[in-house]
Amino acid sequence: MPAIHYRNTPQRKLVLDIVKNRHDHPSADEVYEQARSTEPHISRGTVYRNLKLLSQQGLIRRVQTIGGVDRFDCRTGDHFHFMCEGCERVMDVDVPPGMDVDSRIVPPEGAEVHGHWVILRGLCSDCLGKERL
């Protein structure tokens, strides 16, 4: 099947730049609000479609969270995420060098592993501090 070529529209570039310049794993709504500050006439649908396309193309990563609100990540390589159950913030967790997670996974018979997706959950230091007060 031939690769589909998508034009790099100004709106798509704006959405990509927003995600690439943020390291806090914004939601689609957060990307939309930031995009509107630059391009007031951009629609929510345009932002959502471009986030989907950019993640399908591997230019950004869609992080499906426990709470059901997708977040978007500028880092596309394999790494873990930590999601705070208190504030729902998502943070990167680096895989230690030399830790080959994929080779340690035993997939179902006849399947092969192409990557992994791991979300650790708990409370971030800010939420733990609030809980102790």
pLDDT of residue 30: 97
Q: Of 29, 60, 76, which residue constitutes the final position of a domain?
A: 76
Range of the domain at 71: 1-76
pLDDT digits (tens, 9 = 90+) for 76-92: 887 888 999 888 889 99
Judgement on whether residues 61 and 87 belong to the same structural domain of the protein: no
| Total tally of structural domains belonging to the chain | 2
Predicted TM-score (pTM) of this structure? 0.79
Tell me the CB-side half-sphere exposure of residue 81, using CA atoms within 13 A: 28
Residue 124's contacts (CB-CB under 8 Å, 6 or more residues apart) are 82, 84, 86, 87, 89, 91
Are residues 83 and 53 part of one domain? no
Higher-scoring residue by pLDDT: 2, 65: 65
Q: How far is CA 131 from CA 13, 66, 84, 126, 128, in A?
A: 41, 21, 13, 9, 5
Same domain for 59 and 70, yes or no, is yes
Q: Are residues 64 and 89 in the same domain?
A: no
The yes-or-no verdict on residue 4 having pLDDT over 70 is: no
**Mean pLDDT in the chain?**
87
